[in-house]
Structure 1
Amino acid sequence: MERVIAWIHEKNPGLDGTIAPDEDLIEARLIDSLDFLEFIYLLESVSGRTIDLQEVSIDDFCTLDRIRERFLTPAEAQG
């Protein structure tokens, strides 16, 4: 998760402090459409898994909590 948070800070140099785990990253414009594919590649790199865009929704990327649950939790723990 540290790489994800670091990436968000890198893309938002004016962002100070921590990002709340339940903050809507898209609504807060911390992840925008221009950087979205780069963000997907980052999540694939961090998780070691391919993300099939047909099997996800925008809600899966809205908060750090949801990103952790959806992409950074081992597959067997997701049920």
Structure 2
Amino acid sequence: MDRVTSWLREKNPGLEGPIDTDEDLIEARLIDSMDFLEFIDLLEEISGSSIDLDDVTIDDFRTLNRVQERFLSATG
């Protein structure tokens, strides 16, 4: 998750403090539509698996906990 949180901080340089693992990343505008595909690419790179967009919903990307559970549970 360090790479994910580092990426979020890079995209949001004014972000201070920790990112709560249950914070809604989309509502908080930490991920926007312009960065969404790059975020998916990052998750694919970290996990070593491709993400089939037909098999996911926006809710799979809402929180760090959900991202971890859905895409990174095998890689930590």
Task: Find the residue that maps to 2:56 and give its secondary structure.
Answer: coil
Among all aligned residue pairs of Structure 1 and Structure 2, give the percentage whose two residues are the same amino acid: 68
TM-score (norm 2): 0.96
Structure with higher Rg: it is 1
Partner of 1:19: 19
**Rounded Cα–Cα distance in structure 2 between residues aligned with 1:49 and 1:16:** 31
Q: CA RMSD in A?
A: 0.4
Superposed counterparts of 1:30-69, under 5 Å: 30-69=30-69
User: Structure 2: which 5+ runs fail to align?
Assistant: none
List structure 1 segments (4+ residues) > 4 angstroms apart after TM superposition.
none
User: Structure 1: which 5+ runs fail to align?
Assistant: 75-79
Aligned length: 74
Q: CA deviation at 1:39?
A: 0.3
Partner of 1:77: none
**Rounded Cα–Cα distance in structure 2 between residues aligned with 1:37 and 1:65:** 19
TM-score (norm 1): 0.92
